Amino acid sequence: MTALIIEDEIPAGKRLEKLLLENGFVVLTQLHSVKSALLWFKENSMPDYIFMDIELADGKCFELFEKIKIESKVIFTTAYDEYALKAFEYNAIDYLLKPIDERKLKKMLSKVDTFKEGFLADLELVKNSLSNTFKKSFLIATSKGLKKITTGEIVGFVSENNATYLITDKNFKAPVNSSLEKLEMELDGKQFFRINRKCIINKQFISEINYQNEVVINSLFDISLKISRLKIKPFKEWLGR
């Protein structure tokens, strides 16, 4: 998931970025004013989420909505609750008071995930009915040139350090130019499943689920991966198909 932070208080912006990175987001950048945000949107595509302070250095963030069409999911962050009703006029999905509480942030993200679960399942059915073509391989740059890796060789994909990596059954790890959200749409849903915010796994390498609700991977390396609480039920249904 990609996120843009619009915040004129540098310490607050850095804290929010840290929390988002810990929860699997790729933070594209931090902006500090209405003017800089308008310039950024002219040259960049919309992120998945925008975390937006209301009182910025040169005005209120609501000016952005009057000048551009914002298609991202918007979460307003502010030290004051007086703008709450007005914020929801702009289709905000949540409103977080500063200083942002990590528990409230996670609760908000869980709420979004719950909504997405049903949406993605329906979208997967539509996608499968329209086309049976999924991504079958990836071209990875190495010191010797381009290396083709098929999806059958890939144990899973992980998001870490603001990047996405594939891991093969030979314990080869390489970056890929796709977010986990995009990979969810490109990969065969019968073969791959996103078990948490930071990991997609390949069914053929799963050996068991332990009592801690961790996926045990059967490969050249011993690894157990935690399943997100919200995904345990759909994951077990998927694994049993």
Residue 189: CATH number of its domain: 2.40.50.40
Let me know if residue 214 belongs to a domain: yes
pLDDT of residue 85: 61
Last residue of some domain: 80, 113, 146?
Answer: 113
Range of the structural domain that residue 144 is part of: 134-239
pLDDT of residue 153: 94
Decide if pLDDT at 25 tops 50: yes
Let me know if residue 177 belongs to a domain: yes
User: Looking at the structure, do residues 6 and 62 belong to the same domain, yes or no?
Assistant: yes
User: Looking at the structure, do residues 140 and 108 belong to the same domain, yes or no?
Assistant: no
> How far is residue 166's CA from residue 168's CA, in Å, rounded to a whole number?
7
pLDDT of residue 82: 63
Q: Please give the distance of CA 115 from its chain centroid, rounded to a whole number.
A: 14
User: Looking at the structure, do residues 145 and 97 belong to the same domain, yes or no?
Assistant: no
User: Looking at the structure, do residues 144 and 108 belong to the same domain, yes or no?
Assistant: no
Confidence of residue 130 (pLDDT cuts 50, 70, 90): very low
Confidence of residue 120 (pLDDT cuts 50, 70, 90): very low
User: Looking at the structure, do residues 10 and 74 belong to the same domain, yes or no?
Assistant: yes
Let me know if residue 120 belongs to a domain: no
User: Looking at the structure, do residues 146 and 101 belong to the same domain, yes or no?
Assistant: no
pLDDT of residue 88: 62
Let me know if residue 203 belongs to a domain: yes
Decide if pLDDT at 119 tops 60: no
Q: What value does the mean pLDDT of the chain take?
A: 81
For 204, other C-beta atoms within 10 Å of its C-beta total 13
User: Looking at the structure, do residues 93 and 154 belong to the same domain, yes or no?
Assistant: no
What's the rounded mean pLDDT across residues 73-100? 73
- The residue ranges of DSSP E strands in the chain, in sequence order, are 2-6, 26-31, 49-53, 55-56, 59-60, 73-78, 94-97, 137-142, 145-150, 154-160, 163-168, 173-176, 192-196, 199-202, 206-209, 214-217, 223-226
Let me know if residue 128 belongs to a domain: no
User: Looking at the structure, do residues 150 and 103 belong to the same domain, yes or no?
Assistant: no
pLDDT of residue 155: 92
User: Looking at the structure, do residues 77 and 176 belong to the same domain, yes or no?
Assistant: no
- The bridge status of strand 206-209 relative to strand 214-217 is antiparallel
pLDDT of residue 135: 87
The string of pLDDT tens digits covering residues 161-207 is: 889 999 998 888 999 988 988 898 889 888 999 998 889 999 998 88
pLDDT of residue 148: 93
Last residue of some domain: 62, 81, 113?
Answer: 113
What are the tokens at 59?
């005005």
Q: Which of 156, 235, 164 is nearest to 195 (CA)?
A: 235
Q: Which residue has the higher pLDDT, 145 or 175?
A: 175
Number of domains in the chain: 2
Query: Whole-angstrom distance between the N-terminal and C-terminal Cα of the chain?
Result: 28
Using DSSP, state whether 236 is helix, strand or coil: helix
